[in-house]
Each structure stands twice: as structure tokens, then as C-alpha cells.
């Protein structure tokens, strides 16, 4: 069944993608991948005034943003006060992001190669700019009609997706770029079914693998491969449920709490909005969603056992939680 779904998803992707987000075809070698905001941020990062004084952030980092950072600031409500507060509250996140910043040149080359492959596979593909910047540690990224915007610090911290920083950045950004080609991924439909969301996400993963040689969520795929029959049975029972915003949403949590099952199968919302999933509740499902509400979790990574562990989804972050 999963193979048939993958083929159907690929067909839907190819049939529906012509009108997404922009008109016409561009040569993928011309895709803009903007990282100047990251360079400027880390040139200033060692100055303690950045975290202590929002005015310093406003004058030195946010005063001369790239056009993509301007959009990212508006979409994710990045202000000097909020960014300064994040720098004080989450110093390790920004410190670790410096290591990811050092890998951006290699990431850029691999993304250009990936978009070259996308252009060869799908001549109608569009190539809006990709901006990689530093945000307030609340979102790994989002998109609109003007481009794709990546919060480096959060994508760098999302090691539960894939352990290698460079691979994770390439694969997740390619996955979101696949969503750019999907008109269905641009529509926030509260009546979308679990099947609809699964096809949108599955198509994006299928295309990501064609672009990069890997899916965006390899650990999740590894986890699911060991439970194929169980997941297929559960999926068939839920595929027509409406109000789903996740691929194989496994929501409401109370109806899907079987042994060691991640609460999220498929990673991201089907509308580009990296790592900021929100479970839409209807009146009939509200009671079942009680134990899906955000909870504060330990900050350390818990993937040392070599298996996917249960995802806990919050409004502003996605973290991991150890299974029992």
C-alpha cells in the first residue's frame, strides 16, 4: 500500500505543480541562496551588548537586513526585544549555530546541485530565493510567495531529524523547496483529510530523495519501516478524517497512542512552515487532544539509543521526548 501511495503522490505532484508561487521557469543555477545575515550576525555575536541591549541588535544586525530577513521578521515576529530575549534565554542554541554557519558554503553547493536535478526532473519548477538567517529560536523556517526563509539556529538544533548538520540542512531545505512546487501545499484547508496531508508530505519526501539522494527525515523513515503493517492498518482507519494538518498525523493523540509511536509521522505541516506545527482541533476531537497540549520537556537530545523517540509538538518548537 505504501508503494502505491508513493506513486500516487508523485503523480499528484507532477499534475498539480505548474502554478505554484511564481510564473515561468528559471535556470536553477540562478537560484539565490542568501546567507549574508548569518555572516553579519556572527561577526557581532561575541559582543555581550547584543543580548543585553535590544537597541544594539536593532542598530547593528536588524538595521540592514536582506530582503529575505525582512520577510522572515514579519512572518515570525522577530523584533529586537524578542531576539535579545532569545539570546539570553538560549545561549547554547546560538553558540551551536555558529558551527552550522561554518558549513553553509558546502550546503549552498549541494542545494544548487539539488535544484539542478529538480529542474531536470520537473521543467515547470520555480526557484524563489532561499534566505538563511538568524531568528529568535522559535522557528526553523517558513515560506511565502517571495521565497523560503530558514532560521539557522533552530534547524541546526533539530538533530532529532538527522544527526549530521550539513545533511540535515540540505535535505530539509530541499523538502521545503519541493513544497514550493505544490499548489495544494499553499492552501490552508481545515477540511483536508489525513490522506490529503499524507500525499502532500509523501510527494515532498519522494521529490527530496530524487533531488538529494535522501529523504528529509531518515530516522523517521527507519522507525516506520520496522512497523509497516501496524501503521498501514492504523492509517486506513484514519485516512478519511478531516481537519488534519500533518502527514499521517497520528492525532488526536489519545486515539493513536500505541506502543512507541511518534506523535508525528511525516515531519512538517503540509503548508511550508518548518518545525512550527499546530494541530487543528474541531469540536468533536477536542477531548481527545487534551494530552497533545504543549508541555515543557528536557532540553537535552535523546536519540542515543539509535531509534526514533516520540516527538512532542509545541506551538513554537518541536522537541523529543523519551518513550516509555
Query: Can you give the pLDDT at residue 164?
Result: 94
Query: Can you give the pLDDT at residue 221?
Result: 86
Q: What is the pTM of this model?
A: 0.68
Residues 211 and 172 in one domain: no
Distance, CA of 304 to CA of 157 (rounded, Å): 15
Domain boundary among the residues 152, 180, 208 is at 180
Q: Report the domain count for the chain.
A: 2
Closest to 169 in 3D by CA, of 301, 274, 285, 270: 274
Determine contact, residues 316/138, Cβ cutoff 8 Å: yes
Domain boundary among the residues 121, 154, 180 is at 180
> Could you give the percent of the chain with pLDDT greater than 70?
65
Domain boundary among the residues 180, 211, 243 is at 180
Sequence-distant (6+) residues with CB within 8 A of 277 are 245, 246, 264, 268, 269, 313, 318
* pLDDT tens digits, 206-264: 999 999 999 998 988 888 888 888 888 888 888 888 865 443 434 333 333 333 334 33
Amino acid at each position: 500500500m505504501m508503494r502505491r501511495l508513493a506513486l500516487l503522490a508523485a503523480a499528484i505532484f507532477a499534475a498539480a505543480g505548474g502554478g505554484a508561487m511564481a510564473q515561468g521557469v528559471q535556470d536553477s543555477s540562478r537560484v539565490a541562496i542568501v546567507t549574508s545575515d548569518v555572516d553579519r550576525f556572527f561577526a557581532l555575536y561575541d559582543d555581550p551588548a547584543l543580548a543585553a541591549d535590544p537597541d544594539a541588535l536593532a542598530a547593528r544586525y536588524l538595521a540592514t537586513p536582506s530582503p529575505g530577513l525582512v520577510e522572515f521578521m514579519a512572518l515570525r515576529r522577530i523584533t529586537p526585544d524578542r531576539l535579545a530575549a532569545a539570546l539570553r534565554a538560549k545561549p547554547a542554541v546560538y553558540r551551536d549555530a555558529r558551527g552550522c554557519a561554518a558549513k553553509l558554503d558546502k550546503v549552498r553547493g549541494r542545494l544548487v546541485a539539488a535544484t539542478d536535478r529538480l529542474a531536470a526532473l520537473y521543467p515547470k519548477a520555480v526557484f524563489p530565493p532561499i534566505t538563511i538567517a538568524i531568528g529568535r529560536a522559535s522557528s526553523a523556517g517558513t515560506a511565502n510567495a517571495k521565497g523560503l526563509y530558514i532560521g539557522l539556529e533552530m534547524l541546526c538544533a533539530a538533530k532529532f531529524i538527522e544527526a549530521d548538520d550539513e545533511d540535515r540542512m540540505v535535505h530539509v531545505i530541499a523538502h521545503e523547496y519541493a513544497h514550493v512546487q505544490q499548489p495544494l501545499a499553499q492552501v490552508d484547508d481545515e477540511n483536508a483529510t489525513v490522506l490529503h496531508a499524507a500525499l502532500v508530505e509523501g510527494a515532498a519526501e519522494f521529490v527530496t530523495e530524487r533531488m538529494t539522494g535522501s529523504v528529509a527525515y531518515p530516522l523517521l523513515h527507519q522507525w516506520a519501516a520496522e512497523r509497516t503493517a501496524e501503521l498501514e492498518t492504523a492509517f486506513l482507519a484514519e485516512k478519511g478524517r478531516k481537519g488534519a494538518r500533518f502527514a499521517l498525523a497520528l492525532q488526536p493523540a489519545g486515539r493513536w497512542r500505541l506502543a512507541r509511536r511518534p506523535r508525528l509521522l511525516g515531519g512538517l505541516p503540509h503548508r511550508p512552515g518548518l518545525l512550527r506545527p499546530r494541530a487543528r482541533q474541531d469540536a468533536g476531537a477536542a477531548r481527545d487532544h487534551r494530552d497533545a497540549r504543549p508541555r515543557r520537556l528536557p532540553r537535552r537530545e535523546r536519540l542515543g539509543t539509535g531509534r526514533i523517540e516520540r516527538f512532542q509538538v509545541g506551538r513554537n518548537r518541536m522537541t523529543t521526548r523519551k518513550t516509555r
